[in-house]
Structure 1
């Protein structure tokens, strides 16, 4: 599905973005610890912007590879619409500086098929994470920065069936 299939004009004040939940075969999920972000809310799933004209599934695979080194995956599913969050007033990130109110995301679920040696946090020159772990899907909303929590709760609800392994 391309980004245009979801109407990029919907919520134009939000940056188009994809998020990825990588499921271990036993149902746990991959979490990365954000570089240079203080605990306790410094763990998250891979996510990133969609390039102009880029297919959303291709963007999800690209972001996963860039941020984790992982390419050995099986596609499981995706959310059907944009999940949206706004940046908090005190947020001074580069995306807000470019005029975005927040981000609109489509989330993808993949099952990891490779060996953990494939995971490489320095696969791309722009390193997002300095550590990683496997965790429980339903615990992830408590690990993320509060302004993204509602989106993570929606992702948990959408992908809960994949957490049972398989």
Structure 2
């Protein structure tokens, strides 16, 4: 089978200035990593500056404008999908292969109220406390007593994949919802079919001192 080209991508770990980072859940219809919790990111366009690509992806996926001058490079990560050998065999090969450049940035306070979701790709989001993520990452949080995390869900009907009927970049308004800790716990895919992407967990692990780079 022909292997996919390695794609250069960027991911931005956006914090709110109050100890939380923004995670979004990919919609179930996504070709790769469906229902996976991630940070904003995507492919770098030809000739595009990495910092500009990161800021563009944040804006396109969340409606937030973050200054490139405040962005700091965090790490590099190589990602493939599917991740497990048996899943690769079932799929007939690797569907995507990316070299990801991670950045971190604090969202300007005046931007926080502008949070939206790119409805073609994401359907849930939450500002998750870093201390909760550290506890989950290190297995220090007792699942039976874990509290849900305040989040937001799209109030727009689920995107049906028809680009002629709806723009890929349409932004959905949000309403408050609770995100069960079980949805975020563990590496994707976890027992409930969600979880945080391995690359995202690695980058966040660096931020909270749970892993070394």
TM-score, with structure 1 as normaliser: 0.68
The 8 Å contact of residues 187 and 201 in structure 2, kept in 1 or not, is answered as no
Q: Separation in 2 of the partners of 1:51 and 1:26?
A: 32
Distance 1:118 1:83, change over 3 A: same
Quick one: higher RCO (CA 8 Å, sep 6+), 1 or 2? 1
* 8 Å Cα contact 1:109/1:159 also seen in 2: no
Tell me if structure 2 keeps the 8 A contact 1:32–1:44: yes
Structure 1 residue 19 corresponds to structure 2 residue 11: yes
Distance, in Å, in 2 between the alignment partners of 1:35 and 1:153 is 19
1:99-143: CA deviation from partner (whole Å, max 9, x where unpaired):
x4x111000111011343211214xxx632112111134347836
CA RMSD in angstroms, aligned pairs only: 3.3
Counterparts in 2 of 1:143 and 1:22: CA distance versus 1, 3 Å: farther
**Structure 1 residue aligned with 2:20, among 23, 28, 33?**
28
2 CA distance for matches of 1:83 and 1:17?
10
Say whether the 8 Å CA contact 1:22–1:29 is kept in structure 2.
yes
Listed as ranges, the gaps of 5+ residues in structure 2 are 83-87, 138-183, 191-195
Check 1:149–1:120 CA distance in 2 against 1; reply closer, same or farther (3 A cut): closer
Task: Give the gaps of 5 or more residues in structure 1.
Answer: 1-11, 162-166
Partner of residue 52, structure 2: 58
- Larger CA deviation: 149-158 vs 42-51: 149-158
Counterparts of 1:45 and 1:61, CA distance in 2? 12
Deviation at 1:64, TM superposition (A): 0.4
Comparing 151-160 and 42-51, the one that deviates more: 151-160
Displacement after TM superposition at 1:48 (Å): 0.2
Q: Is the 8 A contact 2:16 2:112 kept in 1?
A: no
Establish whether residue 111 from structure 1 lines up as the match of residue 106 from structure 2: yes
1:1-166 mapped onto 2 (5 Å cutoff): 13-36=5-28, 42-73=36-67, 75-80=70-75, 82-88=76-82, 89=88, 90=90, 96=95, 100=96, 102-113=97-108, 114-122=110-118, 127-137=120-130, 138=133, 139=136, 142=185, 145-146=188-189, 149-160=197-208
- 1:72 shift after superposition: 4.2
Distance verdict in 2 for CA 1:149–1:115, change over 3 Å: closer
Aligned length: 140
Match of 1:3 in 2: none
Larger radius of gyration: 2
For the 8 Å contact 1:15–1:104, the answer to whether it is kept is yes
